[in-house]
Chain A
Amino acid sequence: MTSAAGLAAQFAELILAVLLAPMLTGWVNQCRAWLQNRSGPGVLQPYRMLLKLFRKEVVLAHNASPLFRIAPYVIFACLALSAAIVPTLSTDLPLNAAADAIALVGLLALARMFISLAGMDVGTAFGSLGARREMMVGFLAEPALLMVLFTASLISHSTSLATIVGTLAKNEFVIYPSLAFAGVAFTMVSLAENARIPVDNPATHLELTMIHEAMVLEYSGRHLAMIEWAASLKLFVYSCMGLALFVPFGIAEGGDSAGILLALPVLAAKLAVGGALLALIETLSAKMRIFRAPEFLGIAFLVAVLAMLVRVLLES
């Protein structure tokens, strides 16, 4: 049963995510610049970057396979679809019936698989090096992310994100200790998954230390633009997922069209605060040695399991 309002909300959410995601990246970079006493390039810089890349010609390696060419589009599509699943403005999302939290994790994994394959495709040392590191981070981060989502599912008895958000948003005055643990674990996983400090450094020019950047070194032009855009979308998706799970207030209930209009400024405010906090974490931390990343993600997993135990033992 799909309502016209639901379809509209779904569509609005998708467009919003795709259009606003670069601005969130720009905002985080701007905050970082301010925190480092620099003036910064402004929040619109990622758009200028994308425009520049779309106008540039694509330089392909001679031995690049078709996979190398289609990967940017597949990755972008995966992330765009993920953005459509996470409730940002309204919980009345037709796609939610088709894909739940586990499907979301699967979509993110699919994008990761393609970017890793593309990294290895041309056969340069850096591509494989980055892909290898990305898989290491990914396979440690995914279980922790699933545990976080399971904790939230246990509270709302559903793995559908819309139901989770609906349940959590309604029980305004109940405090869940389990969600506090889950929040910590989710923050750690998000830092690792989005190639942020302390796991990876999105601003580095040192090819030997790169994870995400090493995989995309061979990309140029519109392909690189799609990948950069997808990376912005990923940050947006994770931010919205965090907001949906831990501060779900202000998201419109099903069919409430006035609520959607109100949800937009609320979302913008929440993202602005979240982005500023991310910039703060990044400014205060140094990058870890790469072999600290398993410890870091191991702790994230442990905390996520604790969250679930707290939920099962104390709250039910």
Chain B
Amino acid sequence: MTFASLGLQIERLEGVAPAWRARVGAAAWRECAEQLAAKGARLAALWACDERDRAGGARVLALYASAEGLLCLDLAVSDPPWVFPDLSDLFPCAGRMQRAAHDLNGVRAVAHSGAAPDARPWLRHAGWPANRHPLARDFDAGAQFAPTGERYAFVPVEGEGVHEIPVGPVHAGIIEPGHFRFSVVGEHVLRLEERLGYTHKGIEKRFEALGLLGGAKLAGRVSGDSTVAYAWAYAMALEGMAGIAPPPRAAWLRALLLERERIANHLGDLGYLGNDGGLAFGLAQFSRLKEDVLRLNERLFGSRYLMDRVIPGGVACDVDAAGADLLHAQGTVLAEELRTMRRIYEDHSGLQDRFIACGRLAPELAARLGVVGLPARASGIAIDARIEPGLAPYDRLEPRIAMLKNGDVAARVDVRFEEAFESLRLVGHILAALREEPAGGTAVELRLPPAGAFGLGWVEGWRGEVFVALEAGPDGSVRRCHPHDPSWQNWPAIEHAIIGNIVPDFPLINKSFNLSYSGQDL
């Protein structure tokens, strides 16, 4: 029992996710982090909440995940200068989350001893002054500020023949914006530094204006390619707080949508990975297959990317017998085509030469960085929220984990193939279960939770585990909503995976992770 042995007064949170919460002081905050790190728990998310209207000051929340479930530590930061103990020495992924918490809430992580943590802004691109914090309750979301013209201090690399290549945020192709600063000697990369936050659009602030019910729609738009995962995580959190459970049929349908989302995204990625290796044939074929999936989504569920299909209380769609037959038929064809494509990819020496040993993320390093989701499974770390905790209906599906140990681009390609096959298998099982399940209600009436209710959602999206932490205000308002993308954990891993590789291999390595910009810039 990892959580019970911490000696905290922990409170079980309502809802299907096995989650607990404990209020801690600054000393316990740090001690618990040390113990949890030693026991192999991972830091899943970290965010802050303005409390000046209630107890004063702010709260910082850290979400830990382990085999047992989730533990949310809640630290009150009441006195100026609003500091809390730094966690980035124990959990490297905490660094950027702490910087974001400072930009948005004004709480600053301070190291207890040793190195001072990074104090540069992360999400604040001189778009608002350093002394203003958008998630403060008195901050006007519509306020306009003149750009402050601050410069961001990239870490310089010095030495004979070292030079910098700045890439982005505007790229030659149509992709999301991110800045990458390479320090190179010739073609060899010595260091890569990422600068993200260009798609910061104030999603967390917007939740507070929309309220609990309106927020469901916004949750599905945090990262458009993971709309089912986010909508489900949000619904899970809200249903837990409201004390309702969706009908069993809705749970099956949610899993169906989630697996369809995973299949579509993996197909798209596999195509682009071939294309980035110079094999445009792969992109053409996989684009066709993905398009088939999207068109059937549109036909059966009314949305190509399944947006707004998962709603709090259930789902907004159903599958009849004819639809199930279509899904089944598509699954059979897709599995066959996927097998052919896999054979072509694996037999193509030129492509394998690009994939193998490229962008290697060693298992030890991946564990140290706290990498999650698909890249973790390609680096020998068995994390999959569909298996552990295996919330309904996955407890009855027994998904098989796709895990490899090489951690290179080839491994991430292979994990995608394996997971696509596994998702197709799961869809078959889900369709069979849906046939058994009596048709009828796919959603229950939602009750508004009381003010102060707190809920967590935990869903394995196609990139990795997606969390939504939701706290209710009075009369159906949102006090604080923090959607957390696995990209927070995985972006720093790319900085390590590229070291020792050559500059022209970066796009391929980046694509093999395919992380969300929008989901982490919020």
Contacts and interface: CB of A to CB of B under 8 A. Distances in A.
Interface of A: 32, 35-38, 125-126, 129, 197-198, 201, 203-210, 213, 217, 283, 285-292
B470 to A, nearest CB: 39
Interface stretch (B15-23, B280-288, B331-339, B364-372): B280-288
B299 interface: no
Nearest to B503: A208
Interface stretch (B347-355, B384-392, B436-444): B347-355
B318 interface: no
A291 B353 CA distance: 12
B278 A197 contact: yes
A14 B333 CA distance: 53
B504 A286 contact: no
B276 interface: yes
A37 B280 CA distance: 11
A208 B281 contact: no
B396 to A, nearest CB: 40
Given A205-B172, A207-B171, A37 B288 contact: yes
B173 interface: yes
Contact of B279 (A37, A217, A286): A286
A129 B166 CA distance: 12
B320 interface: no
A21 B348 CA distance: 32
Interface of B: 163-167, 171-174, 187, 274, 276-281, 283-285, 288, 348, 350-351, 353-354, 502-507
24 contacts: A32-B280, A35-B281, A126-B165, A129-B165, A203-B280, A205-B172, A206-B173, A207-B167, A207-B172, A208-B165, A208-B506, A209-B276, A285-B278, A285-B350, A286-B274, A286-B279, A286-B348, A286-B351, A286-B353, A287-B277, A287-B350, A287-B354, A288-B278, A288-B350
Given A198-B278, A205-B172, A286 B354 contact: yes
Nearest to B506: A208
A283 B285 contact: no
Contacts of B504: 208-209, 289-290
A292 B354 CA distance: 10
A236 to B, nearest CB: 23
B288 A209 contact: no
A290 B280 contact: no
Given A206-B172, A286-B350, A289-B354, A36 B506 contact: no
A126 B173 CA distance: 14
A289 B353 contact: yes
A197 B348 CA distance: 14
A290 B358 CA distance: 13
B360 to A, nearest CB: 14
Contacts of A125: 163-167
Contact of B284 (A36, A208, A286): A36
B284 A38 contact: yes
Contact of B172 (A37, A217, A291): A217
A36 B354 CA distance: 20
A289 B503 contact: no
B288 to A, nearest CB: 7
A80 to B, nearest CB: 28
Nearest to A286: B350
Nearest to A285: B350
B281 A290 contact: no
Contacts of A206: 172-173, 276, 507
B353 A288 contact: yes
B278 A129 contact: no
Nearest to B350: A286
Top 4 A-B residue pairs of the complex, sorted by shortest distance between their CB atoms: A287-B278, A205-B173, A286-B350, A36-B284
A191 B502 CA distance: 22
A198 B350 CA distance: 9
Contacts of A36: 280-281, 283-285
A102 to B, nearest CB: 32
Contacts of B506: 208
B280 A283 contact: yes
Nearest to A129: B165
A231 B283 CA distance: 25
A289 to B, nearest CB: 6
Contacts of B278: 197-198, 201, 204, 285-288
A204 B280 CA distance: 10
Given A37-B285, A125-B164, A208 B350 contact: no
